[in-house]
Amino acid sequence: MWVRRAAIRPVPPFARVSEFVLERLELEISRELDGDNTTSHVFDEALERFEQHQPALFAHLEQALTRTKNEPALGFGYFLILAVFLAFERAFGDAIDKVSELNVESVEQALGLDEELRMADAAEVVESDDVIAMEQPHLLAYIQDHVEAALEAHADEVDVDEVHKIYRAVLIEVLSLSYAVKDQHGESSSEVFA
C-alpha cells in the first residue's frame, strides 16, 4: 500500500520473483563461476535468449551499458542484467510477454518522474529504488547485495557514477519484466493495470 505518491505503477503479487528462485539462481551461478572462471555457459546462453526473446529491452539495456567506459563496471552491468533476466526466466518461464520499445520508454519516463517527485519534496525520505523494492522485495535485495559486493571488491577500479547508471538501467529492466509477467488468465501486468 502506498503511503506517499509515486509515479511507478504497482507490480501485482503474481509477478514478484520469489526468494526461493533467487537462492536457486545464486547457487547455479556460483557453481558455474567457480574460482577465477570468468566465462559462463549459463550467461552466454542467457545473453542469446535475452536478445532473442526481449529484443527491445535488450537493446535499451545494451545501449545504456555501452555508454559505460569503465571495464569492471561494464562486466558487472552485464552480469546484473543477465542475472535479472535469468531470475524472471526461472520464475515465470514462458509466461512473460515481449516488452516493446514503448513499454521500456514508459517505464523509463515513470522512473524519471518518480525521481523528480522525490527530489522536489524536501521531506521525502523514500527513494525510487525503495518504491521498487516494495514491489519486488527479494529481487531488489539480491541486486543491491551484488552492487554493494562489487563496490567493496573493486573499490579502486569501479567508477561509482558508472555503477549508478547501471543500477538505474537494471531498475528499468526489473519494472519492464515485472509488468510483462502474465497472470493465470494469460494477461500481463500491463494489461491488468491498463
CB 110 within 8 A of CB 5: no
What is the count of structural domains for the chain?
1
Residue 35, in any domain of the structure: no
Domain span at residue 156 reads 18-26+40-192
Q: What confidence score (pLDDT) does residue 3 get?
A: 46
Mean pLDDT, rounded, of the chain: 86
Q: How far apart are CA 9 and CA 111, in angstroms?
A: 10
Q: How far apart are CA 23 and CA 138, in angstroms?
A: 10
**What dihedral do alpha carbons 47, 49, 51, 52 form, nearest 10°?**
160
Residue 2, in any domain of the structure: no
Q: How far apart are the first and last CA of the chain?
A: 19
- Helix spans in 33-185 (H): 41-53, 55-66, 71-92, 101-120, 128-135, 137-153, 160-180
Kindly report, residue by residue over 47-81, the tens digit of the pLDDT.
999 999 999 999 999 999 988 887 878 888 999 99
pLDDT of residue 108 exceeding 90, the answer is yes
Residue 156, in any domain of the structure: yes
Residue 34, in any domain of the structure: no
Residue 70, in any domain of the structure: yes
Residue 9, in any domain of the structure: no
Residue 159, in any domain of the structure: yes
| Percent over 90 (pLDDT), the chain | 56
Kindly report, residue by residue over 80-91, the tens digit of the pLDDT.
999 999 999 999
Residue 7, in any domain of the structure: no
